[in-house]
């Protein structure tokens, strides 16, 4: 058997074509994600601006539309400063862990019926695992920076993230019980019997999940890790240039990820009240924009929590509520079996 016979076995073309399709899908998802992250920053500045009776960015392009692109290009030309006394390898790897955790978790989200990069049967567990990994990025960044602000910020942030991780995991158990699966496509299909999705039979779980999602992404009212007035920028105080941008992107990716999980688990995923022809992903994206707007809306409305209140809320309210939700949902499911 010569080389060509080995390479061109029957069926090998199928595998190559499949691989190419996967590659194209992955490139499309990463590209769309990065585009959304870039414009999420613009959307945030614009919506917060208008809520505070300002205009937001107006100079670069019509209504400042090219501002995020200008920012992004500028960051490429900035210096990547390593502070003296920093633990270099850890300092280098921390932002990569952060962004990797956020972006890979998105690979199991179904964007419309049949379109998902990795249709693995432990999808939801994979997302929880990856959002736990994010805590490593935060912790290592604060430790490696050799700066007191970074260190304090990372301590706060990691304690906050791991506390709310439990509440988040438990709040999703109700969804797992209702759908009997961890695969996100199956979860969306299970919601077809409930008009609108699981948000009303799982109202308690949805509430706990949303609060935990805000805490997980370090957004207001739980943005203590980067409480500007006391900790400058929290765990990424010492980061500059592209590495700072990676943390920044990771924060927005986390926000998009949490919105997508909320949509897939509680709001019927790609399904909508009526079918929109030719654009099967339209409902998912409309819901996503609503959720991203919700993040900004709450940022402009609610003041920051105190740290002891934050930890008390997580451990003394959300975890008991989530456990109650599990027992209640389980009882109903067993009774109706």
Among 112, 149, 198, 222, binds another protein (CB under 8 A): 149
Among 1, 6, 7, 334, binds another protein (CB under 8 A): 334
Per-residue x/- marks for another protein, 125-144, CB under 8 A?
A: x------x----------x-
Q: Which is nearer to another protein, 245 or 263 (CB)?
A: 245
Q: Count of residues binding another protein (CB under 8 A)?
A: 80
Nearest C-alpha neighbor of 323 from the set 208, 163, 170, 177: 170
Rg (CA), the chain: 22
| 191 sits near another protein (criterion: CB under 8 A) | no
Among 107, 185, 218, 325, binds another protein (CB under 8 A): 107
Please report, as residue ranges, which positions from 311 to 330 form the binding site for another protein (by CB under 8 A): 311-312, 315-316, 319-320, 323, 326-327, 330
Q: Which is nearer to another protein, 135 or 258 (CB)?
A: 135
CA distance 59 to 61: 6
Instruction: State the minimum distance, in angstroms, from the CB of residue 127 to another protein.
Output: 12
| 103 sits near another protein (criterion: CB under 8 A) | yes
- Judged by CB under 8 A, which stretch of 3-11, 37-45, 72-80, 296-304 contacts another protein? 72-80
Max Cα–Cα distance, the chain, nearest Å: 75
Among 166, 204, 294, 300, binds another protein (CB under 8 A): 166
Q: Which is nearer to another protein, 50 or 306 (CB)?
A: 306
| 157 sits near another protein (criterion: CB under 8 A) | no
Instruction: State the minimum distance, in angstroms, from the CB of residue 148 to another protein.
Output: 5
Please, are residues 175 and 267 in contact by the beta-carbon 8 Å criterion?
Answer: no
| 69 sits near another protein (criterion: CB under 8 A) | no
| 14 sits near another protein (criterion: CB under 8 A) | no
- Judged by CB under 8 A, which stretch of 162-170, 200-208, 270-278, 295-303 contacts another protein? 162-170
| 35 sits near another protein (criterion: CB under 8 A) | no
Among 43, 100, 111, 283, binds another protein (CB under 8 A): 100
Please report, as residue ranges, which positions from 288 to 307 form the binding site for another protein (by CB under 8 A): 307
Among 44, 165, 223, 251, binds another protein (CB under 8 A): 165
Nearest C-alpha neighbor of 109 from the set 249, 267, 292: 267
């Amino acid at each position: 058997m010569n080389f060509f016979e080995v390479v061109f076995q029957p069926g090998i073309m199928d595998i190559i074509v499949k691989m190419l399709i996967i590659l194209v899908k992955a490139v499309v998802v990463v590209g769309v994600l990065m585009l959304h992250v870039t414009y999420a920053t613009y959307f945030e500045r614009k919506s917060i601006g208008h809520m505070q009776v300002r205009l937001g960015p107006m100079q670069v392009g019509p209504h400042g539309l090219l501002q995020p692109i200008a920012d992004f290009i500028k960051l490429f030309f900035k210096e990547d400063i390593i502070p003296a006394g920093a633990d270099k390898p850890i300092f280098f790897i921390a932002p990569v862990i952060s962004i990797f955790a956020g972006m890979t978790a998105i690979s199991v989200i179904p964007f419309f019926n049949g379109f998902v990069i990795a249709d693995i049967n432990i999808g939801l567990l994979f997302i929880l695992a990856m959002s736990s990994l994010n805590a490593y990025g935060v912790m290592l960044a604060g430790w490696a920076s050799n700066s007191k602000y970074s260190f304090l910020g990372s301590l706060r942030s990691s304690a906050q993230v791991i506390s709310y991780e439990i509440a988040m995991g438990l709040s999703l158990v109700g969804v797992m019980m209702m759908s009997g699966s961890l695969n996100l496509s199956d979860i969306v299909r299970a919601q077809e019997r409930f008009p609108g999705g699981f948000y009303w039979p799982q109202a308690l779980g949805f509430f706990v999940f949303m609060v935990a999602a805000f805490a997980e992404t370090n957004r207001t009212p739980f943005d203590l890790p980067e409480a500007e007035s006391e900790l400058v920028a929290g765990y990424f105080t010492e980061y500059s240039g592209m590495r700072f941008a990676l943390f920044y992107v990771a924060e927005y990716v986390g926000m998009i990820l949490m919105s997508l999980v909320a949509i897939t688990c509680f709001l019927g995923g790609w399904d909508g009240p009526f079918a929109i022809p030719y654009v099967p992903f339209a409902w998912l994206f409309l819901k996503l924009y609503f959720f991203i707007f919700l993040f900004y809306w709450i940022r402009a409305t609610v003041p920051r929590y105190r740290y002891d209140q934050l930890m008390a809320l997580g451990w003394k309210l959300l975890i008991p509520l989530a456990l109650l939700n599990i027992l209640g949902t389980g009882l109903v499911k067993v009774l109706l079996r």
